[in-house]
Amino acid sequence: MKKWTILLSCVFALFMTSMANAKQVELDKVVVIVNKGVILQSDVDIAMKMLKLNAKESDQKLPSDSVLKQQVIDKLILDKIQQQEAKRLGIHVDDKQLDTALSDIAKSQKMTLKQLIASVQKAGISYSTFRTEIRHEIAEREARNALVRQRINILPEEVNNLAKVLANQTNSTVEYKIAHIQLNFDEQDKLKVEKQADELVNKLKSGTNFSTMAYSYSKGPKALSGGQWGWMRKEEMPTVFADQIKMNKKGSIIGPFLAGSSYHILKIEDVKGLKTVAVTEVDARHILIKPSIILSDAGAKKELNGFIKEIKDGKATFAELAKQYSQDPGSAAQGGDLGYQTPDSFVPEFKHQVETLPVGQISKPFKTVNGWHIVEVMGRKQVDRTDAAMKNRAYRILFNRKFNEEAGAWLQEIRAGAYVDILKGDGSNDS
C-alpha cells in the first residue's frame, strides 16, 4: 500500500510539474514570427521594461502601455531582422566589447557599473538579460553600419563643393537640436492622417510634450527615443529636414509637411553657433643623440651640454652642429629644422618643450623614446585650419546625411522583404 502511495505521490508531483511548465510556456508565447525566428511575449515585456527604465532615467513621461506596445512590437520586428542579418554576416560581439559598451552606458547615465546593474534589476530585468539585449543592439548596429556603408558613394567633387559652401558661412553656421514625428499613410487614408497631423501640431503649439506625442504616434526611426535626433547641422540632416529649416528659433514647430508617403512634424528644441578652426604651429629645430653600447645616457647628455656651450660662446651655430652631429637624418640635412608643425605631432616630452620654450631659447638636454635632444623654438604662428577642417567636415556631413537616408531606406527594404506574421492573443493570425 505504501508503494502505491509513493507512486501516486510521484505521479502527482510530475503532473504538477508538467502543469507548471505548461503555464510557463503559455505565458511565454510566440507573439510574432519573423522569417525563421520568433518574438516572444517575454521579449515584448523586457523591451517595455527597458523603455520605461530609460524614460525614468531621463524623467520622460510615456503614454499608456496599450499605445506603447504596438510601437515596441514594430521595433522588435526590425531588431529581429537586423539580428538575423548580423548572424548572416558572422558578426560576433565578444565579452570585452560588451563590457566596454556597458561601462559607456553607465558613464552616460552618470552611474557606476554597479549602480547601473542595481537600476536594471530594480526595473525587474536580470543583468544577464540586460547584457544579452545590449549584445544584440551592438550586433544590429554593426550589421546596419556594414550594409549601409556599402550603399554610400561620396565623390571628391561633392566634398570640395560642400567645403566651399561651408567656408563661406563658417561664422554663421548653426547647429539645431531636432525632434521629429513621422506619420505614414496609404493613399486611401491620406486625408485622415493629414487631419491627425494638423491636430498634433495644434496640441504641440499649445504646450503638449513633444516626446510623448512621438512615443504615441510617430512611425519615424527615432520614435522610441521620443523623436530625438539630437544636435545636427543642416548639412547633416536628412534632406527632408534641411529643406524645411530656415534659421528657425528655439522652440519652433515646423509642419506638418508632406514628403513621400509621410507627414512630418519638426521641433527646434535648441540652437547654437560654430566657430572657425585655428591652431598654433611651432617652427623648431633640434639635435638628436642616441645612446648606444659605447655612449651612455650620461655621455649623450654631456655631449649636448657641450653643444649648448659652443653655441653660446659663438664657436658654432645650431645649424652647423645639427648637420654634423644630429642622428635624425631627416632634419640634420636642414640644420635640425623640423619646419612648422602642430605640437601634437611630437612625442609628449618633445611636445612639452616646444609648447613652453620662449622663442630663441635652447632647451636643456631631455630624453624621449628616440634618444637625447636639445631643441630651439624659432617661431610660432596661428594658422587657420578651417579649409582642411571644412573638407573633413564636408565629408562627415555628406556621409552622415547619406547614411541616415540610406539607413532609413535599408530598414524599409529589409522589413518589406521579411516574412512577418503578427499573432493575436489566441494564437491566430492578425489580419
* Number of domain units in the chain: 3
**pLDDT above 50 (res 5):** no
How many whole angstroms separate alpha carbon 271 and alpha carbon 22?
56
Q: Give residue-wise pLDDT tens across range 134-153.
A: 999 999 999 999 899 899 99
What CATH number should be reported for the domain holding residue 37? Answer: 1.10.4030.10
Instruction: Give 390-423 pLDDT, tens digit per residue.
Output: 788 899 899 999 998 999 899 999 999 999 999 8
The answer to whether the pTM exceeds 0.75 is no
Q: Using the structure block, give the residue that is written with the C-alpha cell 501640431.
A: 201
Helical pair 386-416 and 127-149, crossing angle rounded to 10 deg: 110
Residue 428 lies in a domain: no
Mean pLDDT, residues 239-257 taken together: 85
400 in the same domain as 271: yes
What proportion of the chain, given as a percentage, has pLDDT over 90? 54
Interval 206-224: pLDDT, tens: 999 999 999 999 999 999 9
Whether residue 145 sits in one domain with residue 111: yes
State the average pLDDT for the chain: 85
- For residue 308, being part of any structural domain is answered with yes
CATH of the domain at 266: 3.10.50.40
Q: What is the pLDDT of residue 169?
A: 65
Asked if 261 and 364 sit in the same domain, the reply is no
Question: Using CA atoms, how far apart are residues 99 and 102, in angstroms rounded to an integer?
Answer: 5
Shared domain for 290 and 357, answered yes or no, is: yes
- Structural domain containing residue 119: 33-150
Backbone angles phi, psi at 94, to 5 degrees: -80, 170
Asked if residue 372 and residue 315 are part of one domain, the reply reads yes
| Domain shared by 270 and 395, yes or no | yes
| Same domain? 256 vs 292 | no
Length of the chain: 431
Summarised one tens digit per residue, pLDDT across range 292-312 is 999 999 999 999 999 999 999
What is the pLDDT at residue 56?
80
Q: Which of 221, 250, 247, 222 minimizes the C-alpha distance to 234?
A: 247
Boundary of a domain, candidates 128, 150, 172: 150
Would you say residue 6 lies in a domain? Answer: no
Quick one: average pLDDT of 179-200? Answer: 93
In this structure, is residue 128 part of a structural domain? Answer: yes
What is the structure's pLDDT at 9? 37
Please report the pLDDT score of residue 242 as a whole number: 86
